A and B are shown apart, each in its own frame.
Chain A
Amino acid sequence: MLRYTFHILLILAGGLITWMAYEEMIGLYTLSVLMFMGVNIIMSTSLNLVNGYMGEFSCGHAGFMCVGAYVSSILGVLLFAKDKVFGAPLLDPSLAIYAFPFIVLAGGVAAALAGLLVAIPSYKTRGDYLAIITIAANYIIISVIENLGVIGGSRGFMGMKRVINAMEDVAYLPWMPIWVFLFTVFSVWLLRRYLSSTFGKGVSAICQDEVAAEIMSVNTNKIKTISFMVSSGVAGIAGGLFAYVIGYVNPGSFNILKSTEALVMVYLGGMGSLSGSILSAVLFTLLLEALRPLQIIKWVVIPLLLIILMQFRPEGIMGNKELGDMFPWLKRFYKFK
């Protein structure tokens, strides 16, 4: 029983948030901060797979988020909402409640395919040159969307609120907090499983020494392709959730600054530590909200804090350890490895 404490706590936390949101005990503001926290957790853990565990330097993660956001919001609006561009919904809006997870996953799949944009050049290109390719990929994705007039171009795309309304018509529940919670747990579970699989061992081998890994019969190209696709696919899930939480997407909000935020969260938490990434995403979101009254000075204070952190604890909060490695007594409370 003790070994399942973590699972029980997780279920209780999810239930508590849902219940409090349903009874409107927590305000919309707190709720949206919680939801952004979930999106940020997905972003930082997925980027940690590439930047932390695999040792590459990807700084265009927001581009994949953008693909996921657009694909899932267009699918949702096309299928379940009346829209000026797409006309009447293709399916019965009451089905939205069942199809929503698949819509978000479809965004993830599309983002994973966009990840090939980086994965294929990464066979030959390494280090800082690969960093450039990721930046270029980010710009290319944003630029493509800006030039697609059908979906609003640089003006953005909206109508996702209607999909959520369609879900609430069927059953009145706080759907977005529920989905964000479930997908956050799912993404972290997926990444955890991936990293502890044989592929995960290959990923660490590539991080240590790519040439040596190849000699030891690790199929580096295959592992790099799959890792980039998993990482960008999960980022696409984050993008889909982000789009539905805000109810509006425009390509400008997925620029290099957004990628920088994700980078900051990874290095704040520590390269190669999933729990560190989760912790740093929570802290970073809270910090952003706590410093909101400072307005623009916020963006001076946060980088300054990070520079100071880099000076005194450059490996981030957790280094490359998990929470269970730092506090071994915690291992009593969960079962997975």
Chain B
Amino acid sequence: MLASILQNVINALQWGSFYALIALGYTLVYGVLTLINFAHGDIFMVGAYIAFFVASFALTTLGLPGWAALALTIPATMVLTSLVGVTLERIAYRPLRRKGAHRLYVVITALMAGLILENGNLAILGASRKAFPPLIHETVYTIGGVSFTNLKIAVIISAFLVFAFLHWVVTRTRVGMAMRAISYDKFAVPLMGIPMDNIIVVTFVLGSAFAGLAGILFAMSYPVLEPYMGALIGWKAFIAAVVGGIGDIRGAFIGGFLLGAVEIMVVAFFPSTFRDLIGFTVLLVILTFKPTGLFGVAKTTKI
């Protein structure tokens, strides 16, 4: 009994790590721009594909051993994915922001950019699924009936490290202070001599890079890639971010793990087709009783 509970906890932590990693990107961008970057799930997908190409290149063309290929793949993917995110910001979001368009139009642009990434990928690479090459040898450890792999542990640890890093960036550094300032008052910030566009680019770099990292980890854990893999997980991560209280780093992190835990627990006790039903019902109930999420602060509305 205890073993199976622990087993489920580990599974939930691993599954929640992916949600948390993607939700962190959503929440960073939202916190600074109040923009729901719906393309973020697809940036995660692009990250997984970039990882696939880099890893295949390193393994076959360069002939590197697995660990070296992994050591090359992680930074290369993070850099390339963040380039994708920044490009998106430059060509799609920034012109709209300069014009002072209603934020819903930016949201629609983001949705469309996500569709372009998905279907462009499908058009270029075809519908056949890609198998991610194994980079490290997966070892299964069993302690007292609880089995876990080194990969699972790596996923969970990296999610925690990324959270700690982002929390440090937002609360302790000058860039983070600027980010919080922008989310506090968008109009006063440029007057204080803070380069708003640069800060926004940094935000997109951070968010997309960690989406790329999530892409690598996801591809290593579930080594089948397809163009629509980012859509559903992206929507769910967004929901996780909102349940935690969007705009708050801790909220996204907790929300991601909460969603992961709910989904794993549902699968453990019910048929797996009930996963979405019960998961989303729980979230609906949470939002009905806590309208700004777990960590969200209710804003006072003035007239």
Evaluate contact between B123 and A133: CB separation under 8 angstroms: no
Query: Chain B contact residues: over half helix, strand or loop, or mixed?
Result: helix
Output the nearest chain B residue to A154 by Cβ-Cβ distance: B273
Evaluate contact between A267 and B115: CB separation under 8 angstroms: no
B298 to chain A, nearest CB (A): 10
Evaluate contact between B277 and A314: CB separation under 8 angstroms: no
Task: Pick from A38-46, A73-81, A227-235, A304-312 the stretch touching chain B.
Answer: A304-312
Q: How far is the CA of A129 from the CA of B292 in the complex (A)?
A: 7
Output the nearest chain A residue to B239 by Cβ-Cβ distance: A132
* Interface assignment of B95: CB less than 8 Å from any CB of chain A: yes
Q: How far is the CA of A139 from the CA of B239 in the complex (A)?
A: 12
Of A137, A142, A296, A303, which is in contact with the most chain B CB atoms at under 10 Å from its CB? A303
A52 to chain B, nearest CB (A): 10
* Interface assignment of A297: CB less than 8 Å from any CB of chain B: yes
Evaluate contact between A146 and B273: CB separation under 8 angstroms: yes
Contact of B107 among A57, A143, A144, A212 (CB under 8 A): A57
A130 to chain B, nearest CB (A): 8
* Interface assignment of B192: CB less than 8 Å from any CB of chain A: no
Question: Could you tell me which residues of chain B, from 100 to 132, have a CB within 8 Å of some CB in chain A?
Answer: 101-102, 104-105, 107-109, 111-113, 115-116, 118-120, 122-123
Question: Could you tell me which residues of chain A, from 271 to 310, have a CB within 8 Å of some CB in chain B?
Answer: 271, 296-297, 299-300, 302-304, 306-307, 310
Chain B residues with Cβ below 8 Å from A120 are 288
- Known A143-B273, A314-B101, A314-B105; judge A307-B284 contact (CB<8 A): no
Evaluate contact between B303 and A300: CB separation under 8 angstroms: no
* Interface assignment of B196: CB less than 8 Å from any CB of chain A: no
* Interface assignment of B238: CB less than 8 Å from any CB of chain A: yes
Contact of A139 among B96, B105, B280, B292 (CB under 8 A): B280
Evaluate contact between A300 and B111: CB separation under 8 angstroms: no
Evaluate contact between A147 and B288: CB separation under 8 angstroms: no
Chain A residues with Cβ below 8 Å from B284 are 117, 121, 133, 136-137, 140
Interface string of A246-265 (1 = CB under 8 A from B): 00000000001000100110
Evaluate contact between A311 and B293: CB separation under 8 angstroms: no
Chain B residues with Cβ below 8 Å from A140 are 276-277, 280-281, 284
* Interface assignment of B92: CB less than 8 Å from any CB of chain A: yes
Chain B residues with Cβ below 8 Å from A32 are none
Chain A residues with Cβ below 8 Å from B252 are none
Of A125, A212, A260, A304, which is in contact with the most chain B CB atoms at under 10 Å from its CB? A125
* Interface assignment of B53: CB less than 8 Å from any CB of chain A: no
Output the nearest chain A residue to B241 by Cβ-Cβ distance: A132
- Known A132-B283, A147-B277, A300-B123; judge A209-B303 contact (CB<8 A): yes
Evaluate contact between B105 and A310: CB separation under 8 angstroms: yes
Chain B residues with Cβ below 8 Å from A117 are 284
Residues of B in contact (CB 8 Å), total 47
Evaluate contact between B274 and A147: CB separation under 8 angstroms: yes
Output the nearest chain B residue to A153 by Cβ-Cβ distance: B273
Evaluate contact between B104 and A132: CB separation under 8 angstroms: no
Evaluate contact between A124 and B123: CB separation under 8 angstroms: no
Q: How far is the CA of A30 from the CA of B50 in the complex (A)?
A: 43
Q: How far is the CA of A231 from the CA of B286 in the complex (A)?
A: 25
* Interface assignment of B235: CB less than 8 Å from any CB of chain A: yes
Q: How far is the CA of A96 from the CA of B37 in the complex (A)?
A: 48
Q: How far is the CA of A5 from the CA of B140 in the complex (A)?
A: 77
- Known A135-B239, A300-B120; judge A129-B287 contact (CB<8 A): yes
Output the nearest chain A residue to B231 by Cβ-Cβ distance: A256
Q: How far is the CA of A129 from the CA of B238 in the complex (A)?
A: 11
* Interface assignment of B172: CB less than 8 Å from any CB of chain A: no
20 A-B residue pairs with CB within 8 Å:
A57-B107, A117-B284, A132-B238, A135-B238, A136-B283, A142-B276, A143-B280, A147-B271, A147-B273, A263-B108, A271-B104, A296-B119, A296-B123, A299-B118, A302-B115, A303-B119, A304-B116, A306-B112, A307-B116, A310-B96
- Which 8 A-B pairs give the minimum distances between C-beta atoms? A303-B112, A143-B277, A299-B119, A125-B291, A136-B280, A143-B276, A314-B101, A303-B115
